[in-house]
Amino acid sequence: MYHITAVPKSAIELAEVILKQAHAISGALTNLERHDLVLEHCVEINRLENEADRISRSAIAGLFVNEVDPITLIKLKELYETLETATDKAEDVANVLESVVLKNA
């Protein structure tokens, strides 16, 4: 959509975080009967979301320091924000799972 031809390192790092969150969500769902395991996965999902925040903030700050082309800056900033939003949504899933576990404890 944005015609980004070279994937920046920070975008790859954010994608890796999203993948780890997906695995943690899968692990939590697979072990719904084990409340302790679900909560462990939720903690990991939240930790990963914090890591994604750090990566995203650093990447966007770097854009404003290093990127000379304003169009490329806008495209990459949008990419970073979209990837970071995905990590926020995974955190929302973790919050729902925590609520389910705590209500059924």
- pTM value is 0.93
58 and 77 Cβ atoms separated by less than 8 Å: no
Average pLDDT along the chain, 105 residues, taken 10 residues at a time:
91 98 97 92 98 98 96 96 98 96 85
Check residue 92 and give its pLDDT.
Answer: 98
Token pair in block for residue 68: 């000379």
Which residue matches tokens 């930790």? Answer: 47
Token pair in block for residue 38: 């679900």
Check residue 1 and give its pLDDT.
Answer: 85
Residues 9, 85: Cα–Cα separation, whole Å: 18
Structural domain spans, the chain: 9-103
CATH says 9-103 is which class? mainly alpha
Q: Which of 94, 79, 83, 85 shows the shortest CA–CA distance to 23?
A: 94
Check residue 77 and give its pLDDT.
Answer: 97
The CA angle 86-92-98, to the nearest 5 degrees, is 145
